Amino acid sequence: MLLCALVACGSATRAEAAIRRVPEIYRTIQAAVDASRPGDVVDVGPGSYCGATIDVRVELIGHQTAIVGCDAGPILFGELRTGFYLPGAGGISGASGTHIEGFLFDGRGISDDNLEPLALGVFARFANDVRVERNLFLGGVQAITNTAGDRWRISGNRIDALTLFDCADGALCAGGDGIVIQIAHDDIAAPGGPAAEVNRPQGNIVVDNHVGGAIPDGFDEFSMVGIFVFAADNTLIARNRLAIPDNPAADASGDGVLISNECCGEPALTPGARNTVVIENDGRASQFAVVVEGTGGANTAGLFLRDDPGTVMVEGQLIVSTGGGRFTRNHRGFRRAFF
């Protein structure tokens, strides 16, 4: 009888999760999210929709669903249209546990002169246990951003035509990152600084994704990066395909995976990235398959590299060099990511 009661109780709990259909029941994704309780499913049909601010744990499932830039969607940094924004502060986010799957995030045509398309795809702060799986990102300057979130799984996504804001004429100057796992710092950090666990993303997995982008001609401000690990702990990066090729007409470099504790013109953070595992990532189509920045072991504590085809550079020294391209020149780092 006790067993039956437990089974019945479990069934009732599962039944409580509602399926909120867009556009059949809710006209917008935001309206469906606003009506949701933790664990509900927001099921979105074919078509184009504005993005949404996610402040509750939901399953966001798309079916031939495009997320496009529009005024009704989230706007970050005063002017950048965003697909799904998972806000948080001080180590807490109501969006923790959210799952995002099956969407096309359309940032094609984004530039300093055209901010109508999506600049940012999925952007989160302090959200834990998030899954971003099997989505397509076209264009945009920063596809998937996890700031200070733990235990994410980012898998099976495709990011094509990644671009950046090129700093021309004093305009926007950042982006060029496919997937970002980064520490919270500056104005958004919780007390305790870079050493505090609440500010450091931990235990994240980035696996089986494809990231491709092209460095603009003449660009020399910072590198373009497929996967950027910034002062994060216990990160696994495996079996990704990374295509950020060298552009002979630009001095900026193309990095498949970049591990660093420096960004955005700020002093290097201590401690840097720790216990990073980078295995079986194909970076042969990038200028550098893997780059580990810093000196004196700033980002090599617990570092494990294995079977990453392409050119690998650790603390300014070439470890492996294969393929063609200008691999002997200095790596041009100086990241500028959105936080």
Provide mean pLDDT across the span 16-24.
95
User: Quick check: 280 pLDDT over 80?
Assistant: yes
pLDDT at 46 over 60: yes
Q: What is the 3-state secondary structure (H, E, C) of the chain?
A: CHHHHHHHHHHHHHHCCCEEEECCCCCCHHHHHHCCCCCEEEEECCEEEECEECCCCEEEEEEEEEEECCCCCCEECCCEEEEEEECCECCECCCCCCEEEEEEEEECCCECCECCCCCEEEEEECCCCCEEECCEEEECCEEEEEECCCCCEEECCEEEEECEEECHHHCCEEECEEEEEECCCHHHCCCCHHHCHHHCCECCEEECCEEEECCCCCCCCCCEEEEEEECCECCEEECCEEECCCCCCCCCCEEEEEEECCCCCCCCCCCCCECCEEECCECCCCCEEEEECCCCCCCCCCCEEECCCCCEEECCEEEECCCCCCCCCCCCCCCCCCC
What's the pLDDT score for residue 13? Answer: 45
At residue 168, the pLDDT reads 83
Residue ranges of domains in the chain:
48-320
CA distance 260 to 314: 10
pLDDT digits (tens, 9 = 90+) for 148-185: 999 999 999 999 999 999 988 767 899 999 999 999 98
Q: pLDDT band at residue 1, thresholds of 50, 70 and 90?
A: very low
Residue 325 has pLDDT above 70, yes or no: no
Mean pLDDT of 269-279: 96
pLDDT at 264: 78
Asked if residue 258 lies in contact with residue 229, where contact means CB atoms within 8 angstroms, the answer is yes
> Does residue 327 carry a pLDDT above 50?
no
Mean pLDDT (whole number) for 27-32: 98
User: What pLDDT, on the 0 to 100 scale, is given for residue 321?
Assistant: 63
Alpha carbon 193 to chain centroid, angstroms: 22
- Tens-place pLDDT, residues 308-323: 999 999 999 998 765 5
pLDDT for the residue 78: 93
Query: For residue 294, how many C-alpha atoms fall within 13 Å in the half-sphere facing its CB?
Result: 25
Lowest mean pLDDT among 51-65, 132-146, 252-266: 252-266
Q: Render pLDDT for 264-273 as a digit per residue (tens, 0 to 9).
A: 778 899 999 9
- CA 208 – CA 158 distance, rounded (Å): 9
Q: Who has greater pLDDT, 113 or 13?
A: 113
Checking if the pLDDT of 15 tops 70, the result is no
Query: Does 329 score more than 60 pLDDT?
Result: no
Tokens found for residue 187:
């104005």
